[in-house]
Structure 1
Amino acid sequence: MTHTTRWGTAVKALSTLARLYVDDLDRALPALRALTGQEVGLRFPYAGVEVAGIAGFLLVAGSDEALAPFRDVQSTVLVDTLDGLPDFLAAHGGELLSGPNEVPTGRNATVRHPGGVVIEYVEHAS
């Protein structure tokens, strides 16, 4: 879905990942492999947690303390670029909570939208 503003195209969503918070990736992933019939597409440590992607899920694993800074984020949206995010927020409201930041997969930004939903936007590196 492409969102346009009076300044032009701001953000194009490529896919959405449901975020799942777990205590251990190695225990959580087998059931998702069986459910989806897919293998883990990415897995890496990040900021005190471990992250894995499989099918339409993004798992974030760690202790309750390690997961605390991440739990407010309700979804991850993969986008073609983060460059249009300021225009998108100006047109539709929202607050940039963090970013853009360099992350292992490219760049990310976290936004609180009107109504309170918190979404992580990720632009994968080419």
Structure 2
Amino acid sequence: MPMKIDSVVARQRVDDLEAAIPFYERLTGLPADRFEFAGVRLASVGPFLLFCGPDEAVRRVAGVSATLAVGDLAAAVEEGIAAGATVVVPAQPTPNGRRAVLRHPHGGVYEYVGP
């Protein structure tokens, strides 16, 4: 059975997180969920992940095209590898669940999140 992607989160680097959040809250009608990870300040607002911070910390976040939520992270990683993806960051816990980063065979880098 093929892997199912439950949702896609678009990533957007911003210069000023607090100044950007009201636009995305108004656009989506949803409140922002703010958090920090690895020296980066982030806000999840509906299907958007806004982030800012020092260039060296932000590079890890900015280098990923999108976040893909899946119902079974281990199965998604296995299926990705079987289809030709390579693991950039193995599955590990984060403040919002577990994540892994894969480079797809055509060059795109995606974060997979899930249980």
TM-score by length of 1: 0.83
2:99 is the alignment partner of 1:102: no
Q: Which runs of 5+ in 2 are unaligned?
A: none
Q: Greater share of strand residues, 1 or 2?
A: 1
49-58 or 65-74, larger mean C-alpha shift: 65-74
- Judge conservation of contact 2:70–2:76 (CA < 8 Å) in 1: no
Q: What residue ranges of structure 1 are gaps of 5+ in the alignment?
A: 5-10
TM-score by length of 2: 0.90
Higher share of residues assigned helix:
2
Q: CA deviation at 1:25?
A: 1.4
User: Which residue of 88, 92, 113 maps to 2:104?
Assistant: 113
Mean CA deviation greater in 101-110 or 79-88: 79-88
Given that 2:77 and 2:100 are in contact with CA atoms closer than 8 Å, whether structure 1 keeps it comes out as no
56, 59, 63: which is aligned to 1:65? 56
Distance (whole Å) between structure 1 residues aligned to residue 63 and residue 97 of structure 2: 21
State the alpha-carbon separation in 1 of the partners of residues 4 and 88 from structure 2: 20
Count of aligned pairs between the two proteins: 115
Secondary structure, aligned partner of 1:93? coil
Given that residues 92 and 99 in structure 2 are in contact (C-alpha distance below 8 angstroms), is that contact kept between their aligned partners in structure 1?
yes
Tell me which residue corresponds to 1:18: 10
Q: Deviations over 1:86-121 (max 9, x none)?
A: 431243111010020110011000000011000000
Q: What percent identity do the matched residue pairs reach?
A: 38
1:37 aligns with 2:34: no
Q: Which has the larger radius of gyration?
A: 1
CA root-mean-square deviation: 1.5
> How far apart in 2 are the matches of 1:106 and 1:75?
16
| Equivalent position to 2:39, from 22, 40, 48 | 48
Q: Which digits, 9 at most, give the CA deviation of each residue in 1:59-98, with x for residues without a partner? A: 1221223212222100001111112034312431110100
